[in-house]
Amino acid sequence: MNRWAYPWPVLHSGLAALVGITVCMQAGCMSAERAAEIETAAAERSPLTHKPAPDFALPNQDGETVTLQAQKGRWAVLYFYPADGTPGCTCQAQEFNKSHAQFQHLSAKVFGVSPDSVASHKNVADKYNLKVDLLADPDQHVMEAYAASAKTPFGRRVIRSTALIDPAGNIAYHWPEVIPQGHADRVRAKLDELKSGEPSSP
């Protein structure tokens, strides 16, 4: 087992159900402030932050292989989600898609990762005109390496989470718990914050 793979029994004891029912268009289900508090509290306990990002090579919705090595020199966002087409996952995809230009302006590439097939990703990407790449990890090996997959008595469970990877290939920030609604904005804000502390180019 990859040394960065581990279960999150405490953090996921009560929030999993909440995350599962949170969707983009639900009004008043949770305030942005409360969602940020939950995500930040979990992130502060993540041991993955500041660790080298596990390498990966996964096909995107067009069958093209995407590698971490190819992202060196720029920021990368890996957001892990359970399944294409579900309300929370669609919410995330649409919100990251809406912020695509802003992430580009911050020199960041966004990737969604799930166990779904390339064909499934292609259907979703076409349906919602997504600009973000969706990566297929059917064996969940990459998800396990990023603590986004955990064993249960009934098989493996996908953990909705996000890793922000810096240009040197390290995990600059890790969200082990994610509230889909508004998450893309919180990732973008964190990226902007981290980049503001970067040294100026010579």
Q: Which residues form the catalytic set? A: 89
Q: What are the backbone angles phi and psi of residue 157, rounded to the nearest 5°?
A: -120, 130
Residues contacting 126, CB < 8 A, separation 6+: none
CA atoms within 13 A on the CB side of 186: 26
Q: Residue 201, Cβ neighbours under 10 Å: how many?
A: 4
Q: Residue 108, Cβ neighbours under 10 Å: how many?
A: 24
